[in-house]
Amino acid sequence: AQSVAQPEDQVNVAEGNPLTVKCTYSVSGNPYLFWYVQYPNRGLQFLLKYITGDNLVKGSYGFEAEFNKSQTSFHLKKPSALVSDSALYFCAVRDSDYGGSQGNLIFGKGTKLSVKP
Amino acid sequence: EAGVAQSPRYKIIEKRQSVAFWCNPISGHATLYWYQQILGQGPKLLIQFQNNGVVDDSQLPKDRFSAERLKGVDSTLKIQPAKLEDSAVYLCASSFTISRTVSYEQYFGPGTRLTVT
């Protein structure tokens, strides 16, 4: 069965410092991995995805994520956090070999990122 | 390009009443998804349409939930009768299409926040 774990409910970072939001996954085949961000009273916004190729993926707003197959992880990173990055971040996975629903994403429970001035 | 539209944004009903949500996907998107997001959790897929056909409704509580996308564009999700545990944000998303070899991003609407009292 597919699953996604975001082990931290909340991550606190000072503005200007690097940030990391952790995500690990479990799939039977090859993973397609995604990060979404959710601001209050807004829908989810796509940040970046890993399908294949380079393990370091760059996305919107200066975010990047590193795919690590041996550790089954896809951590979200940013070199210098901004107060405006404060939001809820969701990791999601789709099993490329899953014989059932195509396009069906499994989401983690979310990590609240708080960036203080 | 207009995003995914949803209405209403907020709804408060009493248990055992019925409620309907509407979604208009991004123009040209063949795939439409309805998700349920309970507070503190990630979105959970309820139903997925490809054009006007159902691809996956395995997690839809069919005794009380129904959804349709008659003309392959707009969609409605209905709950009848509602229970207290249905209190959640209902998110609609759309993507260009679905494919085993290409993973298209899902674009989310702002959601409908349902409170059942």
pLDDT tens for B3-62 read: 999 999 999 999 999 999 999 999 999 999 999 999 989 999 999 999 989 988 999 999
Nearest chain B Cα distance for residue A35, angstroms:
10
CB A17 within 8 A of CB A114: no
CA distance A7 to A85: 19
Q: With 60 as the cut, is the pLDDT of residue A98 above it?
A: no
Q: Closest residue of A to B91, CA-based?
A: A43
Q: With 90 as the cut, is the pLDDT of residue B2 above it?
A: no
Q: With 70 as the cut, is the pLDDT of residue A101 above it?
A: no
Strand partners, B21: B77
The answer to whether the CB atoms of A43 and B91 lie below 8 A apart is: yes
- Tokens representing B49 are 């349409």
Kind of pairing between the strands at B5-7 and B19-24: antiparallel
Contacts of B33 in chain A (CB under 8 A): 103
Q: With 70 as the cut, is the pLDDT of residue A97 above it?
A: no
Mean pLDDT of the region A18-36 = 93
